Amino acid sequence: MQAQDSNNDRISPLGALSGLLDYDMKAVNALIIEHMQSDVPMIPQLASYLIAAGGKRIRPLLTLACTKLYEGDMGRAHRLSAAVEFIHTATLLHDDVVDDSAERRGKPSANAVFGNEASVLVGDFLFSRAFQLMVADGNLDVLRILSDASATISEGEVLQLATQSNLDTTLDDYYKVIKGKTAALFAAACEVGPVIAGQDDKTITATRAYGMALGMAFQIIDDVLDYAADQETLGKTVGDDFREGKMSAPVILALQEADDEEKSFWQRTIADRDQTDADLAHAQKLIEKHDVITKGMALARIYTKQAQDNLPKGSELATCLNALCDYVIDRNY
């Protein structure tokens, strides 16, 4: 992973973090490949298709960083980082089935290539593998943290499904959705670090709060980018959320400022899901008109500020984790 800021040639905080944890990420990647093996050939085929497609590996990096920050056992962190990435990969597979996505990370999605059936079942397999890795670690606190996160993720996903196409969805409803579907796993990925390092409750709570707030900001920006980003840079199909009628931050913010004509537009496209080819461009125009990107970034910044307030000072890793917050806002991937 050589994540570089495409605006200039400096290494991004994500790249810096990957650099500091290069040895550990290699160990995690080896564990991921080892544990996605199975006697049933379709499982490693599908899993490696998705995992080889790349992705930022931000969640396992957080587990590694938060373990190293508190001088925990890195061997255990490797295993648990792989578990965290498996949980994430399982939810991606199931998400793409739920959203009927055609692309993921700029490639045809796994469900488009292997079928929905295989995606559901291999998702289940990876989820089970995650638990096997946690059981091998043997710490019940970690098992509790990650099984709680898993339950919360599916609650967030179901809530998202329930708010789909519902124009009455508030920003608070939206926050509940993304807290479940995204921030809960960021929080758990971070919390695992000080837990296996045997830190006190105050440190554990702060590290968890860092991950939770970072995850909130990450998802808000992700949702904003779905209306703003250049498709090729983003490496995913722009406009997916619009086509699926998702009540994400940009739509909620644009609706707050909408006149009657604009309200009819959102009613037709998001609530009634009656869309033409020209509608995405018009939606993006409304998003621009009401300065929604800037507003969304401001909301995300409230969370990254929270995240930064929960970090210790001083070490190179802490500095990276701090810079990562700003990077999450400024990224254009």
Q: Which residues bind its own copies (CB under 8 A)?
A: 38-43, 90-91, 94, 97-98, 116-118, 120-125, 127-129, 131-132, 134-135, 138, 140, 143-144, 147-148, 150-151, 153-155, 157-159, 161-162
Nearer of residues 95 and 226 to its own copies, judged by Cβ: 95
Shortest distance, position 280 Cβ to its own copies, whole Å: 22
Six-digit token pair at 228? 């703003």
User: What amino acid occupies position 292?
Assistant: V
Shortest distance, position 117 Cβ to its own copies, whole Å: 4
Shortest distance, position 69 Cβ to its own copies, whole Å: 25
DSSP for residue 10: S
Nearer of residues 12 and 150 to its own copies, judged by Cβ: 150
Contact 221, 333 (CB under 8 A): no
Query: Within a 10 A sphere around the Cβ of 311, how many other Cβ atoms?
Result: 23
Nearer of residues 15 and 44 to its own copies, judged by Cβ: 44
Angle formed by the axes of helices 22-35 and 13-20, nearest 10°: 80
Nearer of residues 14 and 153 to its own copies, judged by Cβ: 153
Name, in order, each residue with C-beta under 8 angstroms of 212's C-beta and a sequence gap of 6 or more: 179, 183, 184, 186, 187
Shortest distance, position 25 Cβ to its own copies, whole Å: 24
Six-digit token pair at 152? 């919360």
Pairing of strands 103-104, 107-108: antiparallel
Rg (CA), the chain: 20
Shortest distance, position 36 Cβ to its own copies, whole Å: 11
Nearer of residues 43 and 69 to its own copies, judged by Cβ: 43
